[in-house]
Amino acid sequence: MSNQIDNKTTVKNFIWRFAERCGAQGVSFIVSIVLARLLEPSVYGTIALVTVFTTILQVFVDSGLGTALIQKKDADDLDYSTVLIINILILRFVLFYIWECLFRLRILQSFMEMKR
């Protein structure tokens, strides 16, 4: 009987989580359409690039470590510090990657200007 309740709860939670993600994607899609109608193409392109980076970074934020830590019944200081350090390392890696991309874009842009 207890296993049946857990399965029902699991399915119900899955449905709510799926609906939440679909709703968030729907709102994001509607906002993108509204922005595309209101902004100039060059400005909208910049907004689209920022949105792509934000979406990619959201994957790392939703990695599940925080959720797992909240659901763990006997979490101790080691668990909290481990999640903190892993999140800091992921942040440093992502920021380094973004910095490298921007640096390479600047080099490419200066090369293209010299070529003219």
Residues in the chain, total: 116
Model confidence, pTM = 0.52
Token digits for 16? 């709510």
Contact at 8 Å (CB) between 83 and 65? yes
Contact 98, 53 (CB under 8 A): yes
Neighbours of 1 (CB within 10 A): 5
Instruction: Please tell me the predicted confidence (pLDDT) of residue 3.
Output: 57
Intra-chain end-to-end CA distance of the chain, in Å? 75
pLDDT tens for the chain, residues 1 to 116: 555 667 788 888 889 989 998 998 899 899 989 988 999 988 888 888 888 877 877 777 777 787 788 888 888 899 889 888 988 888 888 888 878 877 777 776 776 677 66
Contact criterion met (CB below 8 Å) for 39 and 47: yes
pLDDT, residue 4, reads 62
